[in-house]
């Protein structure tokens, strides 16, 4: 298997500075502060590479205020680093990457700069990389250390990704690229997800045959049936050979009259921390206690990232870990 699970050690964390005024609207300034808070939390454990438009460099330095961060100027359209960065792999004990096409989720026209970022990062890190001709966002897949890859049909099989691949063709391509054995398909993601249903709001392997799964017992929640079906599919795939840990989704979050698509699954591992989104609802305390029990040797950090979430993603979406190999 070439993929490197996210809970293993990182060398760097790549983050992009928020810049899309049309997307963030009135909360852009607050989203920048939240990104800065996230950067400073991560940087105590691993080197942060912050990519920003040249016109934003002075602002980045001022708001972040951290001399340990590497500020890298590059043209950007948006800030979803998980989706525009390369997918890092291990090949013959060397760090390499695969650079997929990015097409703005098949719905946004301003993506050409972001589509260059994967190659730019690979060259910046001086690693070998393969350029793939089909569209794949990093938030659309997750993987464990058991040669399983997880994704959603609503994203990978969506016609707006312009891949023109059948499910079987997709499986063959991903198995070949990543040297995996199994692909587990969930039908769809959270209702209203602008990405069409990325897996990183639904499922996260954490090692030791444990898997976090977004859940709700509220039958009135619009995601109730989706999450129950996902749970059945995951349990059927593993047949009780693993531990499935339900993580509640938060109560509905409204910001600037917009209902956010929110999930605690959208978090980030560092060596000594788990950095989780905080939504200012009662589930925050439940999730903190759950993660404290799961990761007794890590500090559980919760950050208010509702303005980032307003833009369409969260902590996992705006970060990409560069593994140590």
Q: CA-CA distance, 275 to 264, in Å (whole number)?
A: 10
Q: CA-CA distance, 18 to 26, in Å (whole number)?
A: 13
Say if residues 80 and 16 touch (Cβ distance below 8 Å).
yes
Catalytic residues, by residue number, are 317
Give the distance from CA 286 to its chain's centroid.
22
Six-digit token string for 150 = 């997880």
Say if residues 307 and 23 touch (Cβ distance below 8 Å).
no
133 CB-side CA count, 13 A? 4
Helix spans in 139-222 (H): 153-156, 167-178
Six-digit token string for 171 = 């499986």
**Burial category of 260 from C-beta neighbours within 10 Å (exposed 0-12, middle 13-18, buried 19 and up):** buried
Q: CA-CA distance, 314 to 84, in Å (whole number)?
A: 15
Q: CA-CA distance, 301 to 252, in Å (whole number)?
A: 22
Q: CA-CA distance, 110 to 13, in Å (whole number)?
A: 24
Q: CA-CA distance, 156 to 171, in Å (whole number)?
A: 10
Angle 207-211-215 from CA coordinates, rounded to 5°: 155
């Amino acid at each position: 298997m070439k993929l490197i699970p996210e809970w293993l050690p990182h060398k760097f964390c790549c983050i992009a500075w928020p810049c899309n005024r049309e997307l963030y609207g009135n909360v852009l300034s607050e989203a920048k502060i939240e990104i800065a808070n996230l950067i400073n939390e991560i940087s105590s454990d691993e080197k942060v590479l912050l990519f920003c438009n040249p016109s934003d460099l002075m602002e980045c330095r001022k708001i972040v205020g951290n001399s340990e961060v590497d500020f890298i100027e590059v043209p950007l359209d948006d800030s979803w680093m998980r989706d525009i960065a390369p997918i890092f792999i291990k090949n013959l004990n060397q760090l390499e990457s695969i650079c997929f096409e990015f097409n703005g989720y098949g719905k946004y026209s301003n993506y050409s700069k972001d589509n260059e970022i994967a190659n730019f990062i690979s060259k910046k890190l001086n690693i070998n990389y393969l350029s793939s001709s089909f569209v794949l966002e990093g938030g659309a897949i997750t993987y464990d250390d058991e040669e399983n890859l997880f994704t959603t049909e609503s994203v990978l099989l969506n016609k707006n990704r312009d891949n023109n691949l059948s499910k079987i063709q997709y499986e063959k391509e991903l198995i070949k690229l990543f040297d995996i054995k199994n692909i587990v398909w969930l039908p769809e993601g959270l209702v209203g997800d602008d990405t069409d249903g990325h897996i990183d709001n639904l499922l996260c392997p954490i090692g030791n045959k444990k898997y976090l799964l977004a859940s709700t017992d509220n039958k009135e929640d619009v995601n109730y049936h989706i999450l129950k079906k996902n749970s059945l599919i995951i349990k059927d795939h593993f047949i009780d050979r693993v531990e499935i840990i339900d993580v509640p989704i938060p109560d509905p979050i409204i910001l600037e009259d917009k209902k956010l698509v929110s999930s605690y699954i959208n978090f980030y591992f560092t060596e000594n921390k788990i950095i989780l989104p905080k939504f200012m609802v009662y589930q925050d305390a439940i999730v903190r206690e759950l993660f404290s029990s799961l990761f007794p040797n890590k500090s559980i950090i919760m950050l208010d990232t509702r303005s980032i979430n307003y833009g369409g993603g969260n902590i996992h979406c705006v970060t990409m870990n560069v593994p140590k190999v």
